[in-house]
Structure 1
Amino acid sequence: MAKISYAEFKKKLMDPDVPDSEIAPYLTADREASGPFDPRIEPDPKKVEMGPEAQMDVESAIRWGNAICRWRRQQAFERRISSGVRKPVLVSEGDSWHQFPFLIEDVIDHLNLDFLIWSLDAAGDTADNMVNRNPEFMKALVEQKRNKVAGFLFSGAGNDVIGEDLLGNPVLGTLVKNFQRGKDAAWHVDKAKLSAVLSQLEKGYQKLVSTVRMDPDFKTLPIFFHGYGYAIPGGFPGDKRHPIYAKQDEWLGGPLKEKGIVDLKLQRDIVRVLIDALYDMLHSVAGNSKTSFVYVVDVRGELKEGDWADEIHATSDAFGRVAARFKKVINAAI
């Protein structure tokens, strides 16, 4: 691939009609700065001439990839609306399952084929930040009344259960006990610590729902949650995943090995226990969807070993199947 000037690269970025797949080959990742739901993407200096202007652009933008992707998505949304596209309008707020910058076609990328989605999503965002510290969703929902907003998608909690804490430490280091021979996966999960995490998350999700419902126009607006899939810890013999933004076993496999848990089935079963507990909490928040108008999109079992691009994100094709589950629930609700 021939090296291009930053001006050429930026022209591609600033044109929402240029697909992400055409931009992706010019990108690389900062592995040291990347987190489990926060891949730090940046121009590859081997493929893009990175002079002072380029460096300033990248360094001045917090989470450069997120900022560019959000702008591109919102520009595309406005263009589609202006051109008369008639599809249901949704607002989306979430983490990297909803916004994986450039390198993977995520859930929202796939859903955008069938819906008009105003995206607030950002890789690395947390439920606490989206609900408590920097809430943007209500402003966006109100603004999209003019386009007859039909639903609200929310993706959070990944870092709290299978990601990392605010200090950058894998949460499995605190949620999982040291290996004990003869004990099953459920025993190896520290129930008290997991309960505390889920209790805090539940409060956040309940606050999100009650905030939306405070607007008289949104008393029955469908709200959609999900609890991720059965992620597969990395670093096992034959693991073919080699993401440029993380080690094979950075977030799940490594922390479990540090606890002395090396049996692959036990590792995967522990993750299943955590994901199932997250879904239990989400279903508790949703209650009866027929009266609450809150829906949990259950994607458990959809993703098999070959469907994961890394320990916690699906491949582009597999995210398409995940999105199909979303589409089925969304269409039934709106």
Structure 2
Amino acid sequence: MVKAILDMLGLPGRSMKKDPEVALAYRIFGPDGRDETDELRARLRAARQSSEIAPAANLVRVCADGDSWINILWPWSKLFGHEKTFFDVIEENVSYYSRSVGYPGDTLADMLAARDYRQPLDSGIFDYFIFSGGGNDVLGGSALVALLRDRQAVGSSPDPHDCIDPDALATAVATLASNYDFIARDVRAADTGVTMLVHGYDYPAPRAGQPWLAVPFTAKGYDLTADKELIAAILRHLVDAFYDMLEGVAGKHAHVQVVNLRNVVDGRWNDELHPQEAASVDLAAKFSERMPTAPVA
């Protein structure tokens, strides 16, 4: 569906660039260099709202909202070196009827404000709702800078936990938990029969010069080569904290399930935080394990 809408909107001459301050978020620029991110979001939203949602009685029905792990504007984004997301893979599976309201310029705060997921869920036809959001709050950009302690302040052989400001992390995780709790309750109010599937990403790896991980670590005095193992341990700690938060939310809501994607990408990164297509296929398989191939009555 996204491809059809993009074809209709027309994107020749436009470009997409990573937002250096907000992990997993992109800005879209017009031929004249003007930032069209919000404009394109509004046009996509209008196109989606005017498109019919079919009953799809013989298929498993799945909708999604989220960040660039859901929608990276494929295949247009291929021009800029991006590859399919796991939800692009799901959309190509003929066993599923799928709808996405995700947008690669959205933060979790944007998703909460817009609540675009209500549009498909209010139809009452979907069996599963996949949600992907919050990575921008802990996994990169300015959020990571706020969490990291200076390298020189943690000694020569630090524990990765000591490299993170515990109060800042606790605040970030508490905010995430509150936001996910709201969305879980809102989803339940929209459709009492839908199952909500969430994830906490995979263990990422910085790349020299790239904005979301490498630049924040370097700015805090970490050496990407000498501190490689320490940095990996720090990122594992952050991702694990994200999953712990999700498990807490799922424990309060019977319709929420956590899909564990850790160690699935296994080095197959297209950039610091986005998987290559081969990894996306494996990530999609993790979700398919939770969604039966026979339709839910």
Q: Same fold (TM over 0.5)?
A: yes
Conserved? CA contact 2:197–2:259, under 8 Å? yes
Query: Which residue number in structure 1 is paired with residue 264 of structure 2?
Result: 302
Structure 1 residue 66, shift from structure 2 partner: 5.0
The 3 A distance-change label for structure 1 pair 12 and 188 is closer
Query: Which residue number in structure 2 is paired with residue 243 of structure 1?
Result: none
Query: Which residue number in structure 2 is paired with residue 219 of structure 1?
Result: 192
Report 1:122-133 matches (<5 A).
122-131=103-112, 133=113
Q: Distance in 2 between matches of 1:252 and 1:163?
A: 5
Q: Which amino acid letter does the alignment assign opposite residue 129 of structure 2?
A: F
Structure 1 residue 214, shift from structure 2 partner: 2.7
Q: Which amino acid letter does the alignment assign opposite residue 149 of structure 2?
A: K
Q: Is 1:283 the equivalent of 2:244?
A: no
Per-residue Cα deviation, 1:294-331 (whole angstroms, up to 9, x for no partner): 111110001122x1111111122221211111111223
Q: Which amino acid letter does the alignment assign opposite residue 87 of structure 2?
A: I
Q: Which amino acid letter does the alignment assign opposite residue 254 of structure 2?
A: S
Identity of counterpart residues, as a percentage? 26
The 3 A distance-change label for structure 1 pair 328 and 127 is same
Q: Distance in 2 between matches of 1:11 and 1:181?
A: 53
Q: Distance in 2 between matches of 1:282 and 1:298?
A: 10
2:120 to 115, 134, 140: 140
The 3 A distance-change label for structure 1 pair 199 and 11 is closer
Structure 1 residue 70, shift from structure 2 partner: 6.5
Report 1:79-118 matches (<5 A).
81=54, 86-102=58-74, 103=77, 104-114=83-93, 115-118=96-99
Query: Which residue number in structure 2 is paired with residue 37 of structure 1?
Result: 24
Conserved? CA contact 2:21–2:212, under 8 Å? no
Query: Which residue number in structure 2 is paired with residue 192 of structure 1?
Result: 167
Query: Which residue number in structure 1 is paired with residue 130 of structure 2?
Result: 153
Conserved? CA contact 1:70–1:121, under 8 Å? no
Structure 1 regions of 5+ residues with no counterpart? 1-9, 17-22, 44-49, 165-169, 236-247
* Rg comparison, structure with higher value: 1
The two structures have a TM-score, normalised by structure 2, of 0.80
Query: Which residue number in structure 2 is paired with residue 19 of structure 1?
Result: none
Q: Is 1:233 the equivalent of 2:206?
A: yes
Conserved? CA contact 1:110–1:319, under 8 Å? yes
Per-residue Cα deviation, 1:182-218 (whole angstroms, up to 9, x for no partner): 1121111111110101101101111111122234xx3
Q: Which amino acid letter does the alignment assign opposite residue 206 of structure 2?
A: P
Per-residue Cα deviation, 1:160-181 (whole angstroms, up to 9, x for no partner): 01133xxxxx212111111221
The two structures have a TM-score, normalised by structure 1, of 0.72
Structure 1 residue 219, shift from structure 2 partner: 2.9
Structure 1 residue 73, shift from structure 2 partner: 7.6
Conserved? CA contact 1:70–1:122, under 8 Å? no
Q: Distance in 1 between matches of 2:260 and 2:134?
A: 15
The 3 A distance-change label for structure 1 pair 162 and 34 is closer
Relative contact order: is structure 1 or structure 2 higher (C-alpha 8 Å, sep ≥ 6)?
Answer: 2
Query: Which residue number in structure 2 is paired with residue 162 of structure 1?
Result: 139
The 3 A distance-change label for structure 1 pair 321 and 42 is farther
Q: Distance in 2 between matches of 1:159 and 1:213?
A: 25
Q: Which amino acid letter does the alignment assign opposite residue 317 of structure 1?
A: A
Structure 2 regions of 5+ residues with no counterpart? 78-82
